[in-house]
Amino acid sequence: MSKNLPKMLCLFCGSPVELLETREERPCIFCGEREMVAASCSGSHHCCDRCKTDETRSVIAVMGRTTTRKDPTAISELMMGLPQLGMLDCDHAFIAAAAFIVALKNSPYGGKITENEVSEALDRTASQIAKESCAQTGVCGIIPAIGACFSLFLGVRFGSDREQQVTMDAVTKVTQALTDLTGPVCCKAYVRASLGVATTLFAERFGIMLPVSSFAPVCRWSDKHPFGCREDTCPYYQTTSTPDIFADSIHLKPTVCHS
């Protein structure tokens, strides 16, 4: 028996998506390639990871090329509003990578970051995540996405010493931040937390202080979570007054604006 997720709807027919008890094979409605899936609508509509990711990545890349913003959180909030992006969607990993590397490129410190580096960050992220990464491995794809940004910035190669240690330390801190927000999983909260950690570490490690808002982001999607939002236990909940626990101490103490 499958479990209906009434807040998670098929992008093609609008019917509720069902969480299957066992993975089943489905053909992609675009390219026809068959793959195993863990959820499906009643009409068995399925878009393969490659087709969906190619489309979403293309839009994210265009947004990255055109925005002049320097605040990674502001960039990510814009990207997370994409209509084709699910509430829980591994493509959030591309948003985390793009928002951070684009913010670096647009900042006064962006001399070594070009469009090539932005594309490379997305390519590296793609090589590290798979469809339903958190369900398959228990590890969110946003973690290696931030690792890709640090690795790219530091020029990590096989045999790197200090550069890889710094990258691994960053990944460890991002992992802990996401762990503290789990229960249930929330990709949008994970993006916000990971960028907060990354921004803090860049300030501490490299003296690169990206401009970030003094207010914690207020989530616009709380009512769309298929498994139930954490509400007041999440620092980004729309009615909470809890400060952003991942904000860098070098910035003003964040509060949630209710105006």
Name the phi and psi angles at 3, rounded to 5: -115, 125
State which H helix or E strand residue 40 sits in.
strand 34-41
Q: How confident is the model at residue 47 (pLDDT cuts 50, 70, 90)?
A: confident
Parallel, antiparallel, or unpaired for β 3-9 and 34-41?
Answer: unpaired
Identity of the amino acid at 25: E
Q: What is the pLDDT of residues 11-36, one digit of tens each?
A: 667 678 778 888 889 888 778 888 88
Q: Rg of the Cα trace of the chain? A: 18
The order of strands in the sheet holding 16-27 is: 3-9, 16-27, 34-41
Please give the structure tokens belonging to residue 9.
């709807």
Please give the structure tokens belonging to residue 164.
């890889």
Is residue 229 within 8 Å of residue 237, measured between CB atoms?
A: yes
CA–CA gap between residue 85 and residue 89 (Å, rounded): 7
Q: pTM of the prediction?
A: 0.75
CA–CA gap between residue 254 and residue 182 (Å, rounded): 22
Please give the structure tokens belonging to residue 44.
């068995």
Residue 112 class from Cβ within 10 Å (0-12 exposed, 13-18 middle, 19+ buried)?
exposed
Specify the pLDDT at position 5. 46
Identity of the amino acid at 57: R
Q: What is the pLDDT of residues 206-242, one digit of tens each?
A: 999 998 876 778 899 998 898 899 999 999 997 644 4
CA–CA gap between residue 245 and residue 197 (Å, rounded): 10
CA–CA gap between residue 234 and residue 186 (Å, rounded): 10
Segment 49-69 mean pLDDT: 82
**Regarding predicted confidence, which is higher, 50 or 125?**
125
